């Protein structure tokens, strides 16, 4: 990397801003640069970098907007690194070294983005230390939990909007913690994502969910099938981490094949972070999984970038509209109009649409007017253990009592 162009940044000068576009990275020759991000409206300084350190490198292999801001804290000399300089440096390296660098750059890009999204909203190194210690503790406890089978799936019923019948379930992990009692994913999924333990938990959740779906369907059939006229489906959440390694994708495909469940009754829910963070790898991973016949759902639609272009770029079948969109649809006409446009477009393109997080009668009424296919939310049912699902299927007590009500 000879003859690099140089930027002489004055003290206080902004080098780039979060959300901005840019294709270059910078190597600090002299001076100091502060890297910060904004989380919940607060500025969080992530690091201060000095000579010999590099920043902005995500832009070299991703078209996404800058995920942090950079500012010179004193007069600084910055060597500018473009994608071309990097490419020619990698290409002239030993082939083994070059492929090692390429592979690790991909993984690094993912981890970096993940860390920024989950950065603690605090400036204090002490606070960060204690967060790290508590995360380490959680990691150890998760390992024990896996070894001692403390994890279970709960299932949240999902209903047909047309008939009010139960149509399927979403599997949601729960941790029967020996001292804390029943723990929801909010307290462990982030740590499990960082440590990679989510890979083990995720394949456990899928295997368990498919086994339980067979029990649910058997119970339904044996109780005269009062609850549903079509076969029940099972939705399972997948972490991006499960899709980064080809070996893990093979494992998922194997679990699906060994389950004995018709693949079209299995829905794997992914969040758009996979599509955003790993645009080169995502279509291949998704195609491979989909070749088994399973359906793919995009979860939490309406948060993050939420680009409708995903709908034709990737082999997806279902759109799950996030709770934040569903909340208050009645109160905000604009939100309702956006939602209506999304639902119509998605349905026109042949996608099924699930509205998540329906908590009130008002929300239900509004969502039913939008003609979403499937409905999910605390109003209809909370996530419950498998045994309770079996009892309710037996009793025929899943039907929605308010279905008889006329729509406005």
- We find the least distance from the C-beta atom of residue 367 to ligand C2E, in angstroms, to be 11
List 193, 248, 278, 299, residue binding Ca ion (CB under 5 A): 299
Query: d(Cα 166, Cα 189) in Å, to the nearest integer?
Result: 28
Q: Which does 209 bind (CB under 5 to 8 A by kind): ligand C2E, Ca ion, none?
A: none
Long-range interactions of 363-368: CB distance < 8 A, separation 24+: 363/326, 363/327, 363/328, 363/329, 363/330, 364/402, 365/330, 365/407, 365/408, 366/329, 366/330, 366/336, 367/161, 367/326, 367/329, 368/161, 368/407
- We find the least distance from the C-beta atom of residue 196 to ligand C2E, in angstroms, to be 12
Give the burial string for 241-263 (b: 16+ CB within 10 Å, else e).
bbbbeeebbebbbebbeebebeb
Does 237 help bind Ca ion (rule: CB under 5 A)?
A: yes
Query: d(Cα 305, Cα 38) in Å, to the nearest integer?
Result: 16
- We find the least distance from the C-beta atom of residue 388 to ligand C2E, in angstroms, to be 15
Q: Which does 383 bind (CB under 5 to 8 A by kind): ligand C2E, Ca ion, none?
A: ligand C2E
Does 272 help bind Ca ion (rule: CB under 5 A)?
A: no
Binding site for ligand C2E (CB under 6 A): 156, 172-173, 184-186, 189, 198, 202, 205, 237-239, 269, 299-300, 323, 357-359, 376-378, 383
- We find the least distance from the C-beta atom of residue 196 to Ca ion, in angstroms, to be 20
| Residue listed under structure tokens 């592979």 | 103
Give the burial string for 285-314 (b: 16+ CB within 10 Å, else e).
bbeebbebebbbbbbbbbeeebeeebbeeb
Does 269 help bind Ca ion (rule: CB under 5 A)?
A: yes
- Report the residue number, 52 or 186, with the smaller CB distance to ligand C2E: 186
Does 300 help bind Ca ion (rule: CB under 5 A)?
A: yes
- Report the residue number, 81 or 240, with the smaller CB distance to ligand C2E: 240
Q: Which does 69 bind (CB under 5 to 8 A by kind): Ca ion, ligand C2E, none?
A: none
Binding site for Ca ion (CB under 5 A): 237, 269, 299-300, 356
């Amino acid at each position: 990397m000879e003859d690099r162009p140089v930027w002489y940044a004055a003290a206080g000068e902004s080098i780039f801003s979060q959300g901005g576009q840019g294709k270059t990275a910078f190597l600090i020759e002299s001076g100091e640069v502060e890297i910060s991000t904004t989380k919940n409206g607060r500025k969080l300084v992530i690091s201060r970098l000095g000579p010999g350190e590099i920043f902005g490198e995500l832009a070299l292999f991703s078209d996404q907007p800058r995920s942090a801001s950079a500012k010179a804290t004193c007069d600084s000399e910055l060597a500018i690194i473009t994608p071309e300089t990097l490419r020619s440096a990698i290409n002239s390296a030993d082939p083994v070294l070059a492929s090692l660098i390429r592979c690790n750059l991909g993984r690094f890009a993912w981890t970096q983005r993940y860390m920024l999204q989950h950065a603690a909203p605090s400036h204090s190194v002490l606070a960060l230390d204690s967060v790290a210690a508590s995360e380490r503790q959680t990691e150890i406890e998760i390992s024990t939990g896996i070894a001692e089978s403390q994890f279970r799936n709960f299932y949240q019923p999902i209903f047909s909007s047309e008939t009010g019948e139960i149509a399927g379930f979403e599997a949601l992990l729960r941790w029967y913690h020996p001292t804390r009692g029943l723990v929801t994913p909010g307290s462990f999924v982030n740590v499990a994502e960082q440590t990679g333990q989510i890979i083990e938990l995720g394949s456990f959740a899928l295997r368990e969910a498919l086994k339980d779906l067979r029990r649910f369907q058997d119970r339904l059939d044996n109780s005269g099938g009062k609850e549903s006229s079509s076969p029940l489906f099972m939705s399972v959440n997948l972490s991006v981490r499960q899709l980064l390694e080809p070996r893990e994708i093979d494992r998922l495909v194997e679990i699906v094949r060994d389950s004995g469940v018709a693949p079209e009754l299995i829905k794997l829910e992914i969040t758009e972070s996979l599509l955003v963070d790993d645009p080169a790898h995502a279509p291949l991973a998704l195609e491979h999984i989909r070749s088994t016949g399973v359906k793919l759902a995009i979860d939490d639609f309406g948060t993050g970038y939420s680009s409708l272009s995903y709908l034709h770029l990737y082999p997806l079948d279902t759109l799950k509209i996030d709770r934040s969109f569903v909340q208050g649809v009645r109160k905000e006409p604009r939100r309702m109009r956006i939602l209506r446009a999304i639902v119509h477009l998605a349905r026109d393109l042949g996608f099924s649409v699930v509205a998540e997080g329906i908590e009130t009668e008002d929300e239900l009424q509004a969502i039913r007017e939008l003609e979403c296919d499937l409905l999910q939310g605390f109003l209809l049912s909370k996530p419950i253990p498998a045994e309770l699902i079996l009892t309710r299927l037996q009793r025929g007590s899943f039907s929605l009592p308010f279905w008889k009500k006329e729509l406005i």
